């Protein structure tokens, strides 16, 4: 065997050993990552079960109080409490759905040219009850001149309100929260700074991971699923931006800085006319849902608002009624036994009322394929349960527009 061949074989063997060691190291690191992810997920499921159970006790107690004292002065307080707990449950479920959609690449942005002040103001309004509940001082500094981004108003507002909620939760009562908006030539910066518990060096990266709650967060027991910051990071990245966290350590407060690409300013013409409100008393509304409690309560709300309402738990009966009732708008569940909501919508449009009815899907189904299916069936709007009551009343009154829309 020649010397050159021996040297070549030696090089090949060394390269093979090096590749094996690299592969072995990568497999070991991957196993550690999977173990950590599995541990995080197990902790998350435990937190989830706890968080979902928490609102159930006051809701059950509230129902008992209303049964025992239906006309008492405390009934209003009880109903307000139940409303707050239901809103809390909805936020938990919305966070879970949003993270799932983003993880599967199913979350779509409705990008528009929007002023930064608009989504920051909306975020402040959304987070204000949480801030007020702990008597925090909130100071907001807007940019001296209007600045714009190309983004989804709802999702950017959600990101900033999550930062505000986070600041409020992890700041002791009567703390201070400061929001500052400024811009450079290329980017818009939104800072949310608080006087709260802060965090240790190194945690500024982990806190944005899914299923992770910091030890300092668990120690202060503020509640929540730990998904808020994950959503902030994912939504910001979908807009081509970044988010970062800073703290001088435990007890020294936190600052979260959100950066977004800046868009050029444009002149927005004011609307030429405002559509007059239509009378609710002349509007006929059809509600179809095999969940009798959901259908009945929605029907009662619409009736109290002055609409003429028919409620059905069976799609075939609703179809028969529609020929005589001739509703202006129909709120239809999708998954029903027998005739589905999709088939009912198609037949209402084609066989019964042609184009004279506005169809609203009111359903727990909210994935991209579900939205595409409702469009094909002729629905004008897709609402996911539990839908905002004011939005339902808008649509019932004919003030929701006629183009196909999606509302979460």
Query: With contact defined as beta carbons under 8 Å apart, do 95 and 211 qualify?
Result: no
- Sketch the domain layout of the chain as residue ranges: 3-103, 112-261, 284-407
- CB count within 10 Å of CB 102 equals 18
CA distances to 51, 209, 306 from 95, rounded to whole Å, are 13, 14, 34
271: confidence class by pLDDT, cuts 50, 70, 90: very low
Task: Kindly report the average pLDDT of the chain as a whole number.
Answer: 80
354: confidence class by pLDDT, cuts 50, 70, 90: low
Rounded-to-integer distance, Cα 382 and Cα 370, Å: 9
Domain 112-261: top CATH class: alpha beta
Where is pLDDT greater, at 181 or 77? Answer: 181
Average pLDDT over residues 325-354: 85
Alpha helices in 116-188, H assignment, sequence order: 116-133, 153-169
Q: Is 344 exposed, middle or buried (0-12, 13-18, 19+ CB in 10 A)?
A: buried
Q: By C-alpha distance, which of 174, 163, 161 is closest to 245?
A: 163
CATH level 2 (architecture), domain 284-407: 3-Layer(aba) Sandwich (3.40)
Please tell me the predicted confidence (pLDDT) of residue 147: 94
Bridge partners for 256 per DSSP: 192, 245
DSSP state, residue 349: I
Give the lowest-confidence range in 154-168, 270-284, 369-383. Answer: 270-284
- Backbone Cα Rg of the chain: 27
Rounded-to-integer distance, Cα 167 and Cα 131, Å: 9
- Report strand pairing: 112-115 vs 148-151: antiparallel
Average pLDDT over residues 322-342: 89
Distance of CA 120 to the CA centre of its chain: 16
pTM: 0.58
pLDDT above 90: residue 47: no
Describe the chain by its helix, strand, coil percentages, rounded to 5. Answer: 50, 15, 35
Bridge partners for 245 per DSSP: 256
Please tell me the predicted confidence (pLDDT) of residue 281: 53
Average pLDDT over residues 63-71: 76
Residue with tokens 């307080």: 77
Look up residue 318 and give its two tokens: 């609703």
Residue with tokens 């040297």: 7
Q: Which CATH number is associated with domain 3-103?
A: 1.10.287.130
Rounded-to-integer distance, Cα 80 and Cα 86, Å: 10
CA distances to 48, 264, 361, 366, 400 from 379, rounded to whole Å, are 34, 36, 6, 14, 13
Query: With contact defined as beta carbons under 8 Å apart, do 391 and 400 qualify?
Result: yes
Containing 114, the helix (H) or strand (E) segment is strand 112-115
pLDDT above 60: residue 224: no
For 13-23, give one letter per residue: b (16+ CB within 10 A) or e: eeeeeeeeeee
């Amino acid at each position: 065997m020649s010397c050159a061949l021996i040297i070549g074989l030696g090089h090949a063997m060394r390269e093979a050993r090096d590749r094996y060691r690299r592969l072995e190291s990568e497999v070991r690191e991957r196993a550690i990552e999977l173990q950590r992810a599995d541990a995080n997920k197990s902790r998350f499921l435990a937190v989830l079960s706890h968080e979902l159970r928490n609102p159930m006790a006051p809701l059950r107690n509230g129902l008992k109080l209303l049964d025992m004292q239906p006309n008492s002065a405390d009934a209003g307080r009880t109903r307000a409490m139940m409303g707050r707990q239901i809103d809390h449950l909805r936020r938990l479920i919305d966070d879970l759905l949003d993270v799932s959609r983003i993880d599967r690449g199913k979350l779509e942005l409705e990008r528009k040219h929007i002023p930064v002040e608009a989504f920051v103001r909306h975020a402040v309004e959304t987070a204000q009850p949480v801030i007020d509940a702990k008597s925090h001082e909130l100071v907001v500094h807007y940019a001296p001149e209007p600045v714009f981004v190309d983004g989804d108003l709802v999702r950017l507002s959600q990101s900033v309100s999550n930062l505000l909620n986070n600041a409020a939760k992890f700041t002791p009562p009567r703390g201070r929260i400061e929001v500052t908006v400024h811009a450079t030539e290329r980017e818009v910066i939104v800072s949310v700074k608080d006087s709260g518990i802060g965090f240790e060096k190194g945690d500024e990266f982990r806190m944005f991971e899914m299923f992770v709650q910091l030890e300092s967060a668990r120690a202060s027991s503020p509640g929540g699923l730990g998904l808020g910051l994950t959503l902030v990071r994912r939504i910001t990245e979908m807009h081509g931006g970044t988010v970062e966290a800073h703290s001088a350590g435990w007890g020294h407060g936190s600052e979260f800085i959100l950066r977004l690409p800046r868009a050029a300013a444009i002149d927005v013409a004011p609307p030429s006319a405002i559509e007059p409100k239509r009378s609710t008393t002349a509007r006929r509304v059809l509600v179809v849902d095999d969940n009798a409690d959901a259908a009945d309560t929605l029907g009662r709300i619409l009736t109290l608002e002055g609409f003429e309402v028919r409620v059905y738990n069976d799609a075939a009966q609703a179809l028969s009624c529609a020929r005589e009732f001739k509703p202006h708008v129909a709120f239809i569940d999708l998954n029903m036994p027998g005739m589905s909501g999709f088939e009912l919508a198609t037949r209402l449009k084609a066989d019964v009322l042609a184009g004279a009815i506005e169809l609203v899907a009111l359903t727990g189904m909210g994935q991209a394929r579900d939205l595409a299916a409702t469009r094909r069936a002729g629905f004008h709007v897709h609402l996911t349960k539990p839908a905002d009551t004011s939005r339902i009343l808008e649509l019932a009154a004919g003030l929701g527009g006629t183009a196909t829309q999606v509302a979460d």
